[in-house]
Amino acid sequence: AVARMWAALRTVQALELSLKEAEVQARALAKAGEDRRKALQDAQRLVQQAQQLAARSKERADDAQKEANEKAAIDPEKVALWAAMPGSIEELQELAATKLAAADGINCHDENVEREYKRRAQTIAELTGEVDALAAALDDAQARLEARKATWLPDLQRLVGVINERFERNFAEIGCAGEVKLRESEDYDKFAVEIRVKFRPEEELQLLTANRQSGGERSVSTILYLIALQGVTETPFRVVDEINQGMDPVNERKVFIQLVESSCKPDTPQCFLLTPKLLPGLPFTRDITVLNIMNGPHIDRAMIEATRDRVVAMYGQRAAALVRAH
């Protein structure tokens, strides 16, 4: 008995070590995802700042242009004069030379007006340059953002597509319908994986929420989604805790069969199903180990005395029957 206790203790310690390693890997993946999310948020913040600066500069340029137009408004007569100008380049150059010569002979009697006009013209030119520079910076930031997006979005879309195919197949096997879709948005905080399910033929696919479906329907959807994730995520083991509680017997049996089939395939992670009860007559294979967890320092001795059978005491009656059968 002491040897078995030590062996069990070593097994528990090994499992705890594996769990800690998995937690370290999970935290590392979470940190990497958080770093990527922060980088995307920083890029979005730069884009928003560039857009705000461009908008403010454009407003200033528009105000300056409006004020200049008020000082020197264009009237219909000037438009008519413009329409009456020559159509060839040579004639326009000749006319321009004539007008420049005439302008050189005109003296401005109000120096303040001339000085104000030149100042405003310079302000307009400077603000126009700022707008062009900010527009170029905005285009560059958006191009870099799209380049980063192109490095991860196609892989994410393919991954969600694989999960959706398996999820649809899992739901079809229990006579229902479901799908998994990636919700995309210009705002990366609004990206989400949406699960839609239908448990009755007359219904449409509905988004899985905490309020729309019953507890049993949510449990079925959750375990089938976890089964769909099998093979697309790299984990040493999975733990499912009391997922069958609240399910009706029909769905519980169907889900258990799918869980057994998916967990017993080659090159799949180990799966632990923790539950206080199971339905009678469920299918078990050689790849399934049943562990009955009991408390108390004398429970093993009491079980042996009560059953006179170490196999039953160690594994339980159902597993003991399988052991004898093989």
* Residue-wise pLDDT tens digits, 309-320: 555 555 555 555
Average pLDDT, whole number, for the chain? 80
The confidence score (pLDDT) of residue 109 equals: 59
**% the chain with pLDDT above 90:** 15
Is the Cβ–Cβ distance between 35 and 119 less than 8 Å?
A: no
CA distances from 324 to 147, 286, 317 (A): 62, 12, 11
What's the mean pLDDT in 221-229? 87
What's the mean pLDDT in 251-278? 83
The confidence score (pLDDT) of residue 56 equals: 86
pLDDT in tens, 153-175: 999 999 999 999 989 998 998 88
Q: Which residues pair with 238 in a beta bridge?
A: 271
What's the mean pLDDT in 20-45? 78
pLDDT beyond 70 at 305: no
Q: Model confidence at 260, in pLDDT bands (50, 70, 90)?
A: confident
pLDDT in tens, 36-54: 788 788 888 888 888 888 8
Closest CA to 175 of 199, 208, 202, 207: 199
In angstroms, rounded to a whole number, what is the distance separating the alpha carbons of residues 285 and 257?
Answer: 11
User: pTM (2 decimals)?
Assistant: 0.50
The confidence score (pLDDT) of residue 205 equals: 92
pLDDT beyond 60 at 267: yes
